[in-house]
Structure 1
Amino acid sequence: MTTRTNGKIIASIALAAVTAAAALPAHAQDRVRWRMHSTYPEALPVAGATSYHLGETIDMISGGAFDIRVFEPGALVAGTQYYDAVSNGSIDAAYGSPAFNTGKNSAYAFFAAVPFGPGAGEMMAWLRYGGGMELANELYAEDNLYMLPCGILPPETAGWFRKEIKTMDDLKGLKMRFLGLGAKVMEKFGVSTQLLAPSEIYQALELGTLDAAEQSIPAVDRGLGFYQIAKYNYFPGWHQQSTVQELLINLDSWNALDEGKQTMVKLACDQALMQQFAEGEAAEFEVMQANVEDGVQNMTWSDDQLDQFRAAWEEVVADETGSNPDSQRVWDSLTKFRENYKIWGDAAYLK
């Protein structure tokens, strides 16, 4: 679904928001213009259109009073390198994922995805009602930033490999694109990981500077062309059972908005989150079938292999929380929430 065909989807919130905007005093309706970077190109399936759709939604529900111009990766800043530009006000906002910001504070990774961690429902419950958002914005505020969850993806694949992984020893020496906390797990098995922007991965695989890569869900990965080069696609995505997308906003730009326009941004992010997750869930089976037709083998990690990944993750989280007090605080919050959530989750959901 492209950003040009979203009118019906957003109509229900548009009418109410336009009515609310019309009731605002004249000074509150002064036109606001923002420049926003997107980590993902618009053409990228599922994740790519979200930021552009977000801008269109806000323009529509504001009646044109709030104009967000979205820029492709590289137009303003490099794909994942938006943190400083938003922090210093060079641009007003950026669309990406907290995991891209770990060079500033490794604790940000926990707000994106956690190995063997929560699915989308549980993750959003923690962020919204378990203290996750408060912790995130406490950390972001130190650099003049404000974050809103503005998308969430279903479980990712566990990676695309040129060669079959028959034993864990086959991972040793591989060069692999990997994101966030999962990358540190892979390094425990001798994998050399690096974080590339989505648009850079295909060429690296094609040139052989990467042996393998994980990026996202099958629909996104097919849009990036991985199936043409790496023919072994592994499941399940133990490293990212859900992945949060962020709208990162310069705090001064955010505080300069009146309450009505802040509400518009929040509503638009809520809608974008729902749409991205639903589209992500709906798109995968056809893509997996198409991949098989193109010679891809959908592989499954064995229980023993998953146990080894889990054991390595336990080492990683101990290292991370021991070296970063912010990570310890975030991990404590998430762990407590998940322990309580099990009372509901174990009773309510089929195993």
Structure 2
Amino acid sequence: MKTTLKRLALATTLAIATTTSVTADAKPVLLKTPIAFGSNLPALGTPIVWVSEQLPLVSGGQLKMKIYEPGKLVAPLEILDAVSSGKVNSGYSIAGYWAGKMPAAAIFSTIPFGPEAPEFMAWMYYGNGLKLYQKMYDDAGYNVHVEPCALISPETSGWFKKPVNSLDDLKGLNMRFYGLGGEVLAKLGVSTSLIPGGEIFGALEKGAIDATEFSQPAIDERLGFYKVAKYNYFPGWHQQATFFELLINKSEWNGMDDSQRAIISSVCKASVTNSIAESEFIQYQSIRSNMEERGVTVNKWSPEMLKAFKTAWEEVVQEQRKDPTFAAVYDDLHAFRENYKIWSSRAFVPREE
């Protein structure tokens, strides 16, 4: 199955190659791309590696990408500023990292109780998502062009050193948590911080934090959380699907010809397909290993806990709406989702437990 998925993605890029061609006088482009996530992390760092392999093949060598691991050239949380200023001409990250500068940025990566992958893609590519995404950066004065360039399916919602059976068990915890989900937990008495992936295990092991979320089981496995925190909770209410972005300095982007720009956009779109397939394929193996070999207790949140998360999320939304861009983007996505329910409530067979 994994081989079939890779062949499908390769066929997509070859199809792109037959319909796009770089003009003979086009200037070759080398994208120097610092990344926010290690290239060894499946479905998180591997998609941009795949993109770097496809670009020269599809463009006949006119487009190349050199990847720099997290912190080697630019720190993960500094990628946006580095690309905008021209320190580097591209970068691979997640929009939610910039929420402190632009509250709406979090929506373009993931939001609590948000859309699953097919719905998210529909809004991004055929709704107003991508247009609003670029407009956010333009209005904030950032000199970048954005391309959605990977997508993963739901995450685990946390690794804890002790079981969490009630809201009282959350109060007073120090926890690494991403994005708007962290705002939700703060409402429930959790002290949250955003720690880069490579630093999380050390913080857990030394007791600087009591719990963490980061990504999906197969990704968290690589970081070894199961060695320290033996209670893993689902579903990932805070991240049902997550987009990742390729940022390109706008002067660099405008200097490319139409074919080069089309190839980058098409390869990133193919990467979205490839990454969601990869992320769906690899999760069950890690969950099974955690339960059967590593002594991890895998729990599902009770309906009461999920209701509490949802109530706190609704409070966060009202606070975030004070930012006009957040309000405009959230309202657009919310309207799309209400319309999407006309389809989704009728089309899909309910899953059996």
TM-score normalized with structure 2 length: 0.94
Which residue in the other structure is 2:24 paired with? Answer: 26
Which residue in the other structure is 1:291 paired with? Answer: 290
The 8 Å contact of residues 35 and 91 in structure 1, kept in 2 or not, is answered as yes
The 8 Å contact of residues 161 and 212 in structure 1, kept in 2 or not, is answered as yes
1:15-56 CA deviation, whole Å, 9 max, x = no partner?
A: 4444556x543212x311120111111111221211111111
C-alpha distance in 2 between matches for 1:180 and 1:24? 39
Please list every run of 5 or more consecutive structure 1 residues that lacks an aligned counterpart in the other structure.
none
Which residue in the other structure is 1:303 paired with? Answer: 303
Is residue 92 from structure 1 mapped to residue 85 from structure 2 by the alignment?
Answer: no
AA at the equivalent of 1:58: L
Change (3 A) 1:134 1:236: same
The 8 Å contact of residues 16 and 266 in structure 2, kept in 1 or not, is answered as no
C-alpha distance in 2 between matches for 1:10 and 1:156? 23
Which residue in the other structure is 1:132 paired with? Answer: 129
AA at the equivalent of 2:223: L
User: Which among 102, 105, 109 is matched to residue 108 of structure 1?
Assistant: 105
C-alpha distance in 1 between matches for 2:74 and 2:109? 21
SS at match of 1:69: strand
User: Which among 55, 69, 73 is matched to residue 76 of structure 1?
Assistant: 73
The 8 Å contact of residues 13 and 267 in structure 2, kept in 1 or not, is answered as no
SS at match of 1:340: helix
Which residue in the other structure is 2:169 paired with? Answer: 170
The 8 Å contact of residues 81 and 100 in structure 1, kept in 2 or not, is answered as no
Aligned residues: 346
Change (3 A) 1:222 1:326: same
AA at the equivalent of 1:176: M
C-alpha distance in 2 between matches for 1:340 and 1:229? 44
Q: CA deviation at 1:104?
A: 1.5
SS at match of 2:78: coil
Which residue in the other structure is 1:312 paired with? Answer: 312
SS at match of 2:246: strand
Which residue in the other structure is 2:35 paired with? Answer: 38
More moved, 303-312 vs 249-258: 249-258
Change (3 A) 1:62 1:231: same
C-alpha distance in 2 between matches for 1:180 and 1:266? 26
The 8 Å contact of residues 9 and 271 in structure 2, kept in 1 or not, is answered as no
The 8 Å contact of residues 10 and 57 in structure 1, kept in 2 or not, is answered as no
Which residue in the other structure is 1:157 paired with? Answer: 156
SS at match of 2:134: helix
Which residue in the other structure is 2:225 paired with? Answer: 226
C-alpha distance in 2 between matches for 1:61 and 1:7? 16
- Which aligned segments of 4 or more residues in structure 1 are displaced greater than 3 angstroms? 6-11, 13-21
Which residue in the other structure is 1:346 paired with? Answer: 345
C-alpha distance in 2 between matches for 1:69 and 1:286? 31
Change (3 A) 1:205 1:259: same
Q: CA deviation at 1:7?
A: 7.7
SS at match of 1:247: strand
C-alpha distance in 2 between matches for 1:24 and 1:207? 53
SS at match of 2:130: helix
Q: CA deviation at 1:81?
A: 2.3
C-alpha distance in 2 between matches for 1:94 and 1:45? 18
Q: CA deviation at 1:64?
A: 1.1
C-alpha distance in 2 between matches for 1:167 and 1:7? 43
1:187-210 CA deviation, whole Å, 9 max, x = no partner?
A: 011111111111111111111111
Which residue in the other structure is 2:330 paired with? Answer: 331
SS at match of 1:70: strand
C-alpha distance in 1 between matches for 2:55 and 2:314? 42
SS at match of 2:25: helix
Change (3 A) 1:167 1:70: same
SS at match of 1:117: coil
SS at match of 1:50: helix
TM-score normalized with structure 1 length: 0.94
The 8 Å contact of residues 13 and 61 in structure 1, kept in 2 or not, is answered as no
Q: What's the C-alpha RMSD, in Å, of the aligned pairs?
A: 1.8
